[in-house]
Structure 1
Amino acid sequence: MASSYDFIIVGSGPSGSAVAAGLARASKKPRVLLLEAGGKNEDKSLRVDGQRWTTFQNKDMNWGYQTTPQENCNGRECDYSRGKGLGGSSAINFGVYSIGARDDYEEWARLVGDDFFSWPKIQQRYKALENFHGELPSTVSKKYAAPKPADHGSTGPLRVGYAAEFESDLPPMLDVFEQAGFPLNPDHNSGNPLGMSVLINSSHRGTRSTASDLLEPLPENLTVLSNSPVLRVILEGKKCVGVETDTQKYYATKEVILSAGSLNNPQILMHSGVGPADHLKEFDLPVALDVPAIGQGLRDHMFCPLAWTRTEGSTARAPFYGDEKAMADALEQWKFDGTGPWSKFACELGIGWFKIPSLTSTKEFQELPEADKRHIDAPTVPHYEIITHFPIHWFIPGFAKENLNYSCMLVFYYNAQARGTVTLQSSDPKTPLKFDPKFLGTPYDRRVAVESLRDAFRIAKSDGYTKDNVSQIVGPAGDSDEELLDYWKNTISSSWHMTGTVKMGKKGDKAAAVDSDFRLVGIEGLRVADMSVVPILASCHVQSVAYVTGVTCAEKLIKEYGLA
């Protein structure tokens, strides 16, 4: 096997696979190597759409990370899962395919001083990436989803769209939202996510789509190696010439691109001697380049659950989830043709993004920097999110079988201002870093968390919703600021949207480590392209942003090296 390639990409998640596929399919056919730390994830049964929530718990596909004890969350350690294996986190995520607010991308372009990241150009890349299936079940009105063809692509490698079947109580739930004053949005991926929508999934006909789909058919000039964890990059002075795994060295004649994610890129870089000098010295690591920004700036979205048991017959979940034979039979049907209950249950969700009118008048908002206030108040940027039909019984230990007839919502707060850290805890490159996202870490974060939960009760306490409730499964004790914040502290979870630990920025930005061409500043031949470089916390579930980041990096490399 060759040990020298034109380009080496580390990490096969959405960004890495998009970079690798883009480069390998360039007309001049450079030699490309894609290295993945985990396995091949080849078993088709790992792609059962309705089991996306349990695939997430597959230990062979998950790094199994945890946060440090969270100071503002009663010392709780929270799950900080990342996907492991071909496809990266796209192989274990919850299948939400949302692209966020057009104003997010305009802010990205402003922050890095590069129009390449503006919304019109980003939207074109999204359209080229996706093969959108906008058909709805015949029983579902277009009132709930009416995407415009001009906002979507139909020939890309990534299949996304609506579930082929809906649970019977989903359309009525959307009606309840509308009656409670939450407007419907016919397409949350138009560039304006505000309003209540039917979820667009990263799946098609009951089968999960993953980043590995971008690699098929595999170009002859692209080599993919699984079970090849990269420990460090190989530097000759201030030039990156290759990478080192636990068994071999590989060399790049042009570039190395790190796409191992917000938690693993800092690990590779620091163990290569690139990072905060004083921190590296603490662990007796040689300093090749002092880059204080690496491992700083960690951001995320967080959520908490609300759930109630419901009156008999108001959902169809108990007869399915409560019957082992029904689930087994459904799996056989899925294996046969991808249809049936496993292409319906937990595959279609209600999802919505909303503004909180009172938020911008709060003391906590007013004390933010002017640029942050402008972005949070931009027309298409939401303050929080609600998801309905979440299968919470898989996430609560000992969930009673008699509770399976239930309704669950998740409430997310957006634009967290806390900046967490990703830091060393050992000189051994195989030891994970320490992850401290600092959940609820600023006054604004605590305020938007409280107000998001309070605003969500406009639906949760509406007559149209409560008429079918029997008893509360999980929720706050009351509606005071103190009770709502205490509930967040006790139930908060990461959305696994880790962003910003090797941040992109303008020249001279001390909080940035890479420039708008994805170059790690100060090292020749080394780029970083994934969520770790994204300088905004996008208003969405960020797998889409990871894909478009990789596509954008590939475009820049193809142009720079004249590969088209």
Structure 2
Amino acid sequence: MASSTEADYIIVGGGLTGCVVSSRLKQANPALDVVILEAGVDPSNHEATKTFAGLFSLLGSDLDWAGQTVPQKNTADRVHPLHAGKALGGGSVTNFQGWSRGDARDYDQWAVMVDDSRWSYEGLLPYFKKSETFFDESADSKQHGFHGPLHVTAVSAGPYGRKYPLRDPIKDAWLEVGEKFNPDGCSGSLGGICEFYETWHKGQRQSANEVYKLHGVQRITEATVSNVEFTEDKVGREPTASGVVLADGRRFTARKEIILAAGTLRTPQVLLLSGIGPAETLKKFDIPTVLNAPAVGRNLTDHFALYQLYKLRNPERGLALGSSKLSDPIFMQGFPCDWAVNQAVPREILESALRKDEQAGHTTGDEALLAPGRPLVETLAVYAAAGVPNVPVDGSVIMTSVMLLGSTSRGTISISSASPTDPPVVDSNYFDTEVDKMTLIHGARRTMQALLETDALKDYVEAEITPPGIPTLSATSGDEEFEARIRATGLAHHHPTGTAAMGKVVDTDLRVLGVRNLRIVDASVLPISIGGHPQATLYAVAEQAAEIILQG
């Protein structure tokens, strides 16, 4: 396809949302000229992106932005890695392919905040359904789609289904500590013991750039965007986005709109370099101010987590990956996990934490968190310690992840220069609120109770493997001991959102407030932390965004 520097729509960022929007625009109207500008490469022939076995080699590779935070005051001044897909397909090329919708109350809180029911659970439901081909044809058709681009499957289901040896003991342990079985966590009710859903299909990754067809879309890779250009103000009119400049000086002109889909970490950087952001930041770097927008780069949130390792009893039985008795290749055809356990937090714990946050001046705590049974923390038990330095994958160790679903801590993103090739300055401000602290402590304590103090697992799990130089924990350890462990070892799940939040930076049609012909369609627009793993939400957001754009 011949390269053109003029198009109807210019999409800045060819990640998950950029691919969905581009594909849907072109399908709806083949006459449209649509251009994707992607800073990374086309990974279609990159073998490590295809299967689970190559997954961990992608982190820190040329397909990863491989950024880092500033030292984090709440985690012993540690600098945290920031993994984000740098390729056509974005995070869908490098993620673990976990699939979960947030709880309906997450989306409903979002809709109330912005006063637009389109962003409620029921408002997004048609787009959740549109994106998926759900594995169980007998499932509720009011909740699931059966003709979408993405095949969504329970780990245990179908001819490629995997039932790991610890599947039943793990489930029974959680039942023993009082969690309830939930037959479908992707139906608006996330709480309980849920089958882990994934988008591995026949052992192969499904990335957005492949399942959402881009025929006729001009894809320009290795194209780092410098800034959006605006036409001069006319009296009484807002600045109008007219084109995009690349770091190498090339220019692209938009006849209709420019759509930023560069992600939570990069979209605010593009806005700032374009003159949209806090005036004091723009002035500091001699960037001409197009619009003083103080909320750009604010409201950053992520799913912070505690990872723990557990030693198995008698690993020669073949209980985890790496064992010669678990050598069937099917066990490596997706993420080695059976269940996602999504837990609520007792009301008395949350009420106390909210009071402390209010006294400390935190305004992110919300009474909506007190909704009975609302899940706020997720536990996964993973049958390998893949990716953990100095821990062998030999069948003797499993790993747990305890992850905040409704993080209330908020960070910031800014810039260090006016150069698009310098990374953004990211202060994630993990673990900053009392609500986050008490929620994660509660989830970690319950996880240790299930793993170490139940009849269901007493013959399978021997003990936690304590990190070097770190005190041992048990389910009866004090809150202070859990807090110290989390501050010393906690890491995020790389699910950042919120830095161009709806109601603050964009309106409910995703248009950037204060300018014309500029929209944002990526995770940066989410005004709150949405539970679950984000790709299901982002596919739905992008599907609805495409319809909004086409409607004008």
Task: Give the alignment partner of residue 406 of structure 1, picking from 397, 401, 425.
Answer: 397
Q: Determine whether 1:538 maps to 2:530.
A: yes
Partners of 2:348 and 2:446 in 1: how far apart? 10
CA contact (8 A) 2:318 2:326 kept: no
**In the TM superposition, what is the alpha-carbon distance from 1:284 to its structure 2 partner?**
1.9
Q: CA deviation at 1:467?
A: 2.8
TM-score with structure 1 length normalisation?
A: 0.88
Matching residue within 472, 487, 512 for 1:477: 472
- Check whether the contact 2:337–2:383 (CA below 8 A) recurs between aligned residues: no
Query: Deviation string for 1:279-305 (max 9, x for gaps)?
Result: 111122221211111011101111111
- 1:466 is aligned, of 458, 476, 495, to 458
State the alpha-carbon separation in 2 of the partners of residues 349 and 12 from structure 1.
Answer: 31
- Distance in 2 (CA, whole Å) between partners of 1:85 and 1:285 is 28
Q: What is the aligned counterpart of 2:191 among 190, 194, 211?
A: 194
Query: Root-mean-square deviation (CA), in Å?
Result: 2.4
* Secondary structure at 2:367 match in 1: helix
Secondary structure at 1:470's aligned position in 2? strand
* Partner deviation per Cα, 1:489-512 (whole Å, 9 max, x = no partner): 11111111101101111xxxxxx1
Q: Of 543, 549, 552, which aligns to 1:557?
A: 549
1:433-512 to structure 2, matched below 5 A, reads 433-460=424-451, 461-474=453-466, 477-478=472-473, 479-505=477-503, 512=504
Distance across 2 between alignment mates of 1:242 and 1:405: 56
Contact 1:13 1:259 in 2 (8 A): yes
Match of 2:97 among 95, 104, 120: 95
Question: Alpha carbons of 1:12 and 1:55: their partners in 2 closer, same or farther (altered >3 Å)?
Answer: farther
> 8 Å contact 1:101–1:380 — kept in the other structure?
no
Instruction: Measure the CA separation in 1 of the matches of 2:373 and 2:540.
Output: 19
Does residue 425 (structure 1) correspond to residue 416 (structure 2)? The answer is: yes
Helix, strand or coil: the match of 1:9? Answer: strand
Superposition deviation, residue 466 in structure 1: 3.0
Q: Secondary structure at the match of 1:532?
A: helix
Structure 2 SS opposite 1:174: helix
Q: Secondary structure at the match of 1:340?
A: helix
Query: Is residue 103–residue 379 contact of structure 1 (8 Å, CA) maintained in 2?
Result: no
Mapped pair 1:381 → 2:374 = yes
Is 273-282 or 206-215 further displaced after alignment? 206-215
Query: Aligned with 1:231: secondary structure?
Result: strand
**Post-superposition shift, 1:175?**
2.1
Letter in 2 for 1:494: A
* 2:205 paired with 1:208: yes
How far apart are the structure 1 equivalents of 2:496 and 2:133?
26
Partner SS for 2:464: strand
Question: In 2, Cα distance between the equivalents of 1:49 and 1:351?
Answer: 21
1-side partners of 2:484 and 2:500: how far apart?
Answer: 32
> 1:518, CA displacement in angstroms?
0.6
Match of 1:158 among 150, 153, 175: 150
Cα distance in 1 between the residues matched to 2:495 and 2:305:
11
CA distance in 1, matches of 2:24, 2:42: 20
Cα distance in 2 between the residues matched to 1:422 and 1:52: 31
Q: Tell me the distance in 2 between the aligned counterparts of 1:399 and 1:347.
A: 17
Question: Hey, what's the Cα distance between the residues in 2 that align with 1:315 and 1:79?
Answer: 36
Q: Give the C-alpha shift of residue 341 in structure 1.
A: 3.5
- Alignment partners' CA distance in 2, 1:37 and 1:525: 22
The CA deviation at 1:372 is: 4.5
- 1:371 is displaced (CA, Å) by 9.1
Write out per-residue CA displacement over residues 157-190 of structure 1, whole angstroms, 9 at most, x where no aligned residue: 1122123222222133212221221111111101
Q: How many residues align?
A: 527
What is the aligned partner in structure 2 of residue 392 from structure 1?
Answer: 385
Does 1:298 pair with 2:285?
Answer: no
Asked if the contact 1:162/1:348 (under 8 Å) is kept, the reply is no
Distance 2:55 2:412 in 1: 28
Alignment partners' CA distance in 1, 2:151 and 2:393: 35
Q: CA deviation at 1:17?
A: 1.2
Query: Is contact 1:103–1:119 with CA below 8 Å preserved after alignment?
Result: yes
1:286 alignment counterpart: 288
Q: Is the 8 A contact 1:261 1:530 kept in 2?
A: yes
Identity %: 28
Amino acid at match of 1:243: V
Is 1:180 aligned to 2:177, yes or no? yes
- Any stretches of 5+ residues in structure 1 without a counterpart? 136-145, 331-338, 506-511
Question: Is the CA contact 1:15–1:529 (under 8 Å) kept in the aligned structure 2?
Answer: yes
Question: Aligned to 1:340, which of 321, 325, 330?
Answer: 330
The offset of 1:340, in angstroms, is 2.8
Gaps of 5+ in 2: 156-160, 233-238
Q: Contact conserved, 2:337 with 2:381, CA < 8 A, in 1?
A: no
Native 8 Å contact 2:169 2:457 kept in 1 = no
In structure 2, the partner of 1:121 is 123
- Using the TM superposition, name which of 539-548 and 62-71 deviates more: 539-548
For the 8 Å contact 1:192–1:380, the answer to whether it is kept is: no
> 1:39-91: per-residue Cα shift (whole Å, max 9, x none)?
11112623444336414425111000111111011011111111010110111
Q: Distance in 2 between matches of 1:446 and 1:401?
A: 31
Residue of structure 2 equivalent to 1:142: none
1:219 aligns with 2:209: no
CA contact 2:379–2:443 (8 Å) conserved in 1: no
Give SS of 1:153's match. coil
How far apart, in 1, do the equivalents of 2:433 and 2:317 lie? Answer: 39
Matched, 1:243 2:269: no
AA of the residue aligned to 2:227: R
